[in-house]
C-alpha cells in the first residue's frame, strides 16, 4: 500500500516528504482555496518536492472543456494526474484523456457502480470518499472493499485511492481492504506516527542513559 498526502500546503508536504513514506499528493479545489495562492504555482512547487503522482483537479463541467483544461494541467509536469469528477461528462473526458496518454483520478466516487464505470472509461485512479460516506451514516470502507473485489474479478488496472480519510483507523481499514493507496491529511500522518508508549519508552531510555553517564561510566 502507498500513502499520498491530501493537502495543498507546501510546508506540510515538505515535512511529510522528509519522512520518506509519501509516494504522491492529492489536491482539490477546496484544499487549494484554503491556501489562497496561485494554483499553478502551488502545483509546480509540489512537483519539485515529491517525485510521484500529483493530482490537480479540473474544474470544467463539460467534457469539451475538461479535455483542454486537463491537457494544460498535464503539461505542468509529467507527474501530474488530472482529477476528473464522476459525472457523465467526466467519463467522456476520462476516455478521451486516456487515449491521449493523460493520467486521470476520478474523484467524488460514492458507489461501486461509479467505480466500475470509471475503470471501464480507462481511469488511472479512482477515489472513493470514505469519510464523506461515513458522515451520512454509510460504511465508507465497505465501498473500498467492494471496489477492490470488483477490480480484482476483472483485473482492472485502475488503482484505488481511499480518500476522505479522517483518522488513523481509516488507514488501517483501507490497508486491510487492500486499497492500493490511501490519501491522508498531514494531521492523520502525524497521528499514525505517534504513540504515547513510544514517548514514554524514549523518556525512560534517555533518563537511564543519562543516569549511567552521571555515575561517570563511559557510555561512548
Ligand atoms: C482526495 O482526493 C479528496 O480530495 C479528499 O480526500 C477529500 O477529503 P474530505 O472529504 O475530507 O474533504
The confidence score (pLDDT) of residue 31 equals: 96
Q: Considering the domain boundaries, does residue 38 fall inside one?
A: yes
User: Which of 88, 81, 35, 77 is CA-nearest to residue 58?
Assistant: 81
**φ/ψ bin of 68: left (φ > 0), alpha (ψ from -120 to 50), beta (otherwise):** alpha
Place of cell 499528493: 25
User: For 38-72, what is each residue's pLDDT tens digit?
Assistant: 999 999 999 999 999 999 999 999 999 999 999 99
Instruction: Please give the pLDDT value at position 12.
Output: 98
> What stretch of H or E contains 3?
strand 2-6
* Nearest atom, ligand 1, residue 55 CA: 2
| Rounded Cα gap, residues 125 and 41, in angstroms | 24
User: Would 211 be classed as within a structural domain?
Assistant: no
Residue 213 forms part of a structural domain: no
CA separation for the pair 83, 44 (Å, rounded): 16
Outline where 7-139 has alpha helix (H): 10-18, 29-35, 39-49, 63-74, 88-99, 112-121, 130-135
Count other C-beta atoms under 10 Å from residue 151's C-beta. 21
DSSP bridge partners of 34:
none
Cβ(7) – ligand 1 distance below 6 Å: no
- Ligand 1 and 164: CB distance under 6 A: yes
Q: Which residues contact 54 (CB under 8 A, 6 or more apart)?
A: 24, 25, 26, 27, 43, 46, 47, 77, 79, 80, 81
The model's pLDDT over 11-33, given as tens digits with 9 standing for 90+, comes to 999 999 999 999 999 999 999 99
The reply to whether ligand 1 has any atom less than 6 angstroms from the CB of 127 is yes
Residue 220: the pLDDT is 75
Please report whether residue 58 resides in a domain: yes
Does 170 fall in a domain?
Answer: yes
Q: Which pTM value belongs to this model?
A: 0.96
Instruction: Select from 56, 71, 69 the least CA-distant residue to 25.
Output: 56
Asked whether the ipTM of the predicted complex exceeds the cut of 0.85, the reply is yes
pLDDT band at 218 (very low <50, low <70, confident <90, very high): confident
- 83 counts as catalytic: yes
The reply to whether 201 falls in a domain is no
* Number of independent structural domains in the chain: 1
Distance from residue 200's CA to the centre of ligand 1 (Å): 34
pLDDT tens readout for residues 156-209? 999 999 999 999 999 999 999 999 999 999 999 999 999 999 999 999 999 999
Domain limits at 187?
A: 2-194
Contacts for 12-18: CB closer than 8 Å, 24+ residues apart = 12/186, 13/46, 13/49, 13/50, 14/49, 15/186, 16/186, 16/189, 17/49, 17/50
Q: Let me know if residue 219 belongs to a domain.
A: no
Does residue 73 lie within any of the structural domains? yes
The answer to whether 112 and 133 have CB atoms below 8 angstroms apart is: no
**The CATH number of the domain where 143 resides is what?**
3.20.20.70
Amino acid at each position: 500500500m502507498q500513502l499520498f498526502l491530501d493537502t495543498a500546503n507546501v510546508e506540510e508536504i515538505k515535512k511529510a516528504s522528509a519522512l520518506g513514506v509519501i509516494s504522491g499528493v492529492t489536491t482539490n479545489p477546496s484544499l487549494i482555496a484554503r491556501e489562497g495562492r496561485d494554483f499553478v504555482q502551488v502545483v509546480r512547487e509540489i512537483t519539485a518536492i515529491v517525485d510521484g503522482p500529483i493530482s490537480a483537479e479540473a474544474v470544467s463541467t463539460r467534457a469539451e472543456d475538461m479535455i483542454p483544461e486537463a491537457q494544460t494541467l498535464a503539461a505542468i509536469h509529467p507527474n501530474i494526474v488530472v482529477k476528473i469528477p464522476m459525472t457523465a461528462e467526466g467519463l467522456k473526458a476520462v476516455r478521451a484523456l486516456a487515449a491521449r496518454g493523460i493520467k486521470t483520478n476520478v474523484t467524488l466516487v460514492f458507489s461501486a457502480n461509479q467505480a466500475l464505470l470509471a475503470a471501464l472509461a480507462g481511469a488511472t485512479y479512482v477515489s472513493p470518499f470514505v469519510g464523506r460516506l461515513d458522515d451520512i451514516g454509510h460504511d465508507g470502507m465497505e465501498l473500498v472493499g467492494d471496489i477492490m473485489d470488483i477490480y480484482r474479478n476483472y483485473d482492472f488496472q485502475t488503482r484505488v485511492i481511499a480518500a476522505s480519510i479522517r483518522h488513523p483507523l481509516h488507514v488501517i481499514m483501507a490497508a486491510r481492504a487492500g486499497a492500493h493507496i490511501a490519501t491522508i491529511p498531514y494531521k492523520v500522518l502525524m497521528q499514525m506516527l505517534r504513540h504515547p508508549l513510544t514517548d514514554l519508552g524514549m523518556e525512560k531510555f534517555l533518563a537511564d542513559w543519562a543516569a549511567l553517564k552521571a555515575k561517570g561510566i563511559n557510555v561512548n
